[in-house]
Structure 1
Amino acid sequence: MIYTLKISEKGQKTVWLPSNVPITGQTQAMFGSYSEPCLLISSLDTQNEITITKDLAKKLKIPFSSYICVFLDEQSVHLGPLIGIFTAGFRRSNIRPIGKRTFFFAKLLSKEKQVGGFAFVFGAHHINWETGTINGYFYTENGWEQFEVPFPNVIYNRLPNRRTENETTFQQIKHKLKNEYLIPWFNESFFNKWEIYRLLQKHPSALPYLPETYAHPTEEIVQMLLEKYEHVYVKPSNGSLGLSVYQIIQAKDKKIYYCRYRDEYEQNRLRKFTSLSSLWSEIFAQKEMEHYIVQQGIPLIRYKGRQVDFRIHTNKNKNGKWQVSAIAAKAAGKGSVTTHINNGGIVKTLDEIFEHEQERCIMTEKLKEAALTLSQCLEEKMGIAIGEIGFDIGIDQKGEIWLFEANSKPGRSIFTHPDLKKYEELTTILSLEYGVYLSEQIITKPEAIIT
């Protein structure tokens, strides 16, 4: 239940709670990592309002009145929760403090009143280890404001890229907050394509969706796959945005090989070779192939001659259950090896791809079933808290479903389509709802949380 939190000028070190909050001897109030002994009074006057005295709110570093949830353990009444969103790329600007991503975070934080609690954005330089506080950015009615608050109940990792995430500073901060302060993180790191594949291989429910894939591709492995599938994809195991992806095609007479990719000038290229050896030596000889994977090619369905795949967002909801929050189709750009927007791809709805309602309904259910199954399988095998996943999934010309990639920090490009904007709001609300759910679990059932 969501309550209105009010701060009162009257009284000292007191919290007035609705009668539907079952106090059973608790002696203190908590906000994030801060606690203070206080008087807790059960009030019959209201069912949806909580009042805290100003002196206690100051001690707990509650920044302002808002809408909150209340969770109880044996000793404490927890007000909040306090959800920290960890990122990088801050600027010295009160209008755009997180640069180009400020608008995304503003939309995310603006949903906190709908789920209950306080959410804020912070970076490495905002942490005060001596006091156990963070100078976090809150998005309020007055715009962006900074307040000093305790360490949060949970942390949602929204670092912008793998390079930043792998820096020693960020790894040390995550380790310290997670292991020394026991603050659970969700979506704590980017996914590695090969690691995801290996984990899913161990789950029988995921196996039907997995294309044949190998790490550390060699010329011999690629040739073996070409004999079976006629085309393959070579891509970085830690890549994103469709960068450095290569499609290798073997002609039917097996005398000609083609390589399609996007060059350093951001131009789509299709090159012809008389042997796989000549292609391999010219395209891949200087690359560190231990950082790549190779995957069987799938003959995908098409839209107006363009290959199509699907981006499916899944989120944990307020009950900790997986749900599909958005589905979009992506049609490849002319001559592009991927369907990514930056490579000329275009976003379409399922209505636009499947004109016949019966086919659309069948394929939609297949895609949803696959995404929910894969979400559950990944969570079970990874053993960490995951609140959202973005899947890239294909449908072949026989109607079979294939997983190409899973993303722990899915991009938002599909929401540029006017008919998909409503789902962007849903995905942001669900991210915060899961933060609230995870906070409740760590407070009321700490033994059930995987750390």
Structure 2
Amino acid sequence: MEGEQIELSVHTFHSAIPLLRVNPLFHKSRDLLQLPKVECTHGSRKILLTCVLDMNLRQGEFALSESAAKALRLTEYTWRMPAQILPQGVRFGPLIGILSNPLWDREKRTLKQTKQLPALKRLVEAGRTHGAVCFLFRMSDVNLRSGTVRGYVLHEGRWHRRDLPMPDVIYDQLVSRKLERDPNVQEKRQALTKRYKEKFFNDGFFDKWQIYEWLKESVDVKAHLPRTVRHTTMEKAIAFLNTHSVSFLKPLHGSLGLGIARFVRQRDGSVIYEQKQKTSSVLRGKASSSERALETFRTRLKQRPYIWQEGLPLATYEHRPLDIRILMQRDHTGEWKRTKMFARVAKSGDFTSNLTAGGDAMPVDDAIAQCLPKQEQKNRAKSQIRRLSQQIVDAVEKQSGKQFGELGIDLGLDTSGKVWVIEVNSKPRKTPTTEKGRQDLVDLSFERPIRYAIYLATSTSK
């Protein structure tokens, strides 16, 4: 049995001996006083202390000798913190490390404002609300030899840089694929993955071919996958274009719809193509044949890996493409739950529905009501969406051999009401506020991964 979660005020004092002082009226004090030595842990740090009475302390206050606090890497931001009284001693925390890319401003002595920082701040605040200490860190901040990490903590509304023990759990929120490919990052990631196992969750990115290979192994999911092949030669690419009236070319490692190209074959054999170059820029052109169309992409196809995907007769909303985004997350019991679900409608003239490119969000029921004329089709679509979202997370975890705390799933809907898998993302984008959606679900999307991290930290031994 785990100990009761409490909040302690921690003080320090000078002492030549490593000591823990407790108030005799605190109901757990006598349990600690009966121990020859009290085991105190903070993340990966663990020390043994002699426990003594201190009548000057209030209930819920502990005092540590400065040498003990230093050994545990407790700093001023943790002077009031969650803790558990265990049979063998005291565990401060849990300590949750959020892997990201915080940038330190040397002049201002705080973190620089980045696009991701508001979301990361919300995660740290959710940790405090639910009884954990969360901090941000970069992979370069990890010192595997000393078992410490340079972390960025939020204290009284300001970010501070502190040396901390390795955390109890790591939540991967590194959204830079460029950093992900850095050899130094990869080496440390492998070491942390081996050490933490399931306690390092959402570890790394997916690539689109990898996801396809995993999902096709599931009998339930396979029927909802559009035909997909990996790009190998120009000859095979031409054959794919000539087989399908609509084809998509997608970079293996991509996000936000960038780099995706759509090819539409006309009756006379000519091909209209368009490629998403930036969030607000689309390259368009027409070629007399599939061969000529692919000449435009020859250099790109040599520079990075791609997949080819069959274009489907997807339903549209006011002649604009749409898809359905589902955020699946584990909760505080470790069970998968659907946190958010909404339809994304592409802006006029675009062929991808990403909100960052100007797409609109709307309730799924409203989108389905507009797209599908028959009630039978509407019912079929809703049933498939509910069932398929759970089948996808099960298939990804089974085939990858990894455990995840959240997955973003993009589904398409064809004109008959059948649901198709478009993409699965291990780093679903979350924003702290919403203009059109429900703020309570936005808040929940930040709380669930942190509460899942707490569940991992406290439910099983490391």
Same fold flag (TM > 0.5):
yes
Q: Which amino acid aligns with 1:376?
A: D
Q: Which amino acid aligns with 2:73?
A: K
Deviation at 1:167? 0.4
Moved more, 388-397 or 409-418: 409-418
Partner in structure 2 of residue 164 of structure 1: 179
Please tell me whether the aligned partners of residues 231 and 247 of structure 1 are also in contact (alpha carbons under 8 angstroms).
yes
Where structure 2 has 5 or more consecutive residues not aligned to the other structure, the ranges are 53-58
Partner in structure 2 of residue 411 of structure 1: 429
Partner in structure 2 of residue 87 of structure 1: 100
Deviation at 1:401? 1.2
Please tell me whether the aligned partners of residues 217 and 289 of structure 1 are also in contact (alpha carbons under 8 angstroms).
no
Please tell me whether the aligned partners of residues 112 and 118 of structure 1 are also in contact (alpha carbons under 8 angstroms).
yes
Q: Structure 1 residues 382, 331: CA separation in 2 closer, same or farther (over 3 Å shift)?
A: same
Deviation at 1:32? 0.4
Partner in structure 1 of residue 447 of structure 2: 429
Asked if residue 5 in structure 1 is aligned to residue 5 in structure 2, the reply is no
Where structure 1 has 5 or more consecutive residues not aligned to the other structure, the ranges are 42-48, 447-451
Q: Structure 1 residues 385, 237: CA separation in 2 closer, same or farther (over 3 Å shift)?
A: same
Deviation at 1:214? 0.5
Asked if residue 140 in structure 1 is aligned to residue 155 in structure 2, the reply is yes
Asked if residue 36 in structure 1 is aligned to residue 47 in structure 2, the reply is yes
Distance 2:432 2:97 in 1: 26
Partner in structure 2 of residue 385 of structure 1: 403
1:298 pairs with 299, 312, 331, which one? Answer: 312
Please tell me whether the aligned partners of residues 322 and 346 of structure 2 are also in contact (alpha carbons under 8 angstroms).
yes
Report Cα offsets for 1:218-272 as digits up to 9, x if no partner: 4554455456542111101111111110111122x25222112234795323322
Moved more, 130-139 or 20-29: 20-29
Asked if residue 175 in structure 1 is aligned to residue 167 in structure 2, the reply is no
Deviation at 1:151? 1.0
Distance 2:263 2:242 in 1: 12
Deviation at 1:361? 7.0
Q: What are the within-5 Å matches in structure 2 for residues 343-422 of structure 1?
A: 343-355=357-369, 363-412=381-430, 416-422=434-440
Distance 2:455 2:279 in 1: 46
Structure 1 residue matching 2:115: 3-state secondary structure: helix
Distance 1:90 1:377 in 2: 36
Structure 1 residue matching 2:174: 3-state secondary structure: coil
Q: Which amino acid aligns with 1:293?
A: I
Moved more, 63-72 or 363-372: 63-72
Q: Structure 1 residues 117, 414: CA separation in 2 closer, same or farther (over 3 Å shift)?
A: closer
Distance 1:278 1:321 in 2: 51
Structure 2 residue matching 1:176: 3-state secondary structure: helix
Distance 2:311 2:30 in 1: 57
Asked if residue 60 in structure 1 is aligned to residue 72 in structure 2, the reply is yes
Partner in structure 2 of residue 310 of structure 1: 324
Q: Structure 1 residues 287, 34: CA separation in 2 closer, same or farther (over 3 Å shift)?
A: same
Largest Rg, 1 or 2: 2
Aligned length: 436
Q: Structure 1 residues 181, 344: CA separation in 2 closer, same or farther (over 3 Å shift)?
A: closer
TM-score w.r.t. the length of structure 2 is: 0.83
Deviation at 1:298? 1.6
Partner in structure 2 of residue 44 of structure 1: none
Q: What are the within-5 Å matches in structure 2 for residues 214-363 of structure 1?
A: 214-222=229-237, 224-226=239-241, 229-251=244-266, 253-263=267-277, 266-288=280-302, 291-355=305-369, 363=381
Please tell me whether the aligned partners of residues 242 and 290 of structure 2 are also in contact (alpha carbons under 8 angstroms).
no
Distance 2:393 2:102 in 1: 29
TM-score w.r.t. the length of structure 1 is: 0.85
2:202 pairs with 156, 179, 187, which one? Answer: 187
Please tell me whether the aligned partners of residues 88 and 159 of structure 1 are also in contact (alpha carbons under 8 angstroms).
yes
Partner in structure 1 of residue 141 of structure 2: 126
Moved more, 417-426 or 190-199: 417-426
Deviation at 1:127? 3.6
Q: Which amino acid aligns with 1:35?
A: K
Deviation at 1:135? 3.0
Structure 1 residue matching 2:274: 3-state secondary structure: strand
Please tell me whether the aligned partners of residues 308 and 394 of structure 1 are also in contact (alpha carbons under 8 angstroms).
yes
Report Cα offsets for 1:267-315 as digits up to 9, x if no partner: 3233222211111122335522770001111222211111110111111
Deviation at 1:5? 2.1
Report Cα offsets for 1:184-226 as digits up to 9, x if no partner: 4111101111011111222223212221111125455445545
Q: Structure 1 residues 142, 89: CA separation in 2 closer, same or farther (over 3 Å shift)?
A: closer
Distance 1:39 1:377 in 2: 50
Distance 1:270 1:281 in 2: 14
Moved more, 395-404 or 420-429: 420-429
Query: Percent of aligned pairs with the same residue?
Result: 24
Q: Which amino acid aligns with 1:189?
A: G
Structure 1 residue matching 2:218: 3-state secondary structure: coil
Deviation at 1:399? 1.1
Distance 2:206 2:195 in 1: 24
Please tell me whether the aligned partners of residues 18 and 50 of structure 1 are also in contact (alpha carbons under 8 angstroms).
no
Please tell me whether the aligned partners of residues 121 and 136 of structure 1 are also in contact (alpha carbons under 8 angstroms).
yes
Distance 1:185 1:9 in 2: 32
Deviation at 1:149? 1.9
Q: Structure 1 residues 21, 152: CA separation in 2 closer, same or farther (over 3 Å shift)?
A: farther
Distance 2:264 2:184 in 1: 43
Q: Which amino acid aligns with 2:63?
A: T
Deviation at 1:419? 1.8
Partner in structure 2 of residue 78 of structure 1: 91
Deviation at 1:60? 2.0
Q: Which amino acid aligns with 2:104?
A: R
Distance 1:161 1:212 in 2: 29
Deviation at 1:320? 1.0
Structure 1 residue matching 2:437: 3-state secondary structure: helix
1:105 pairs with 120, 143, 168, which one? Answer: 120
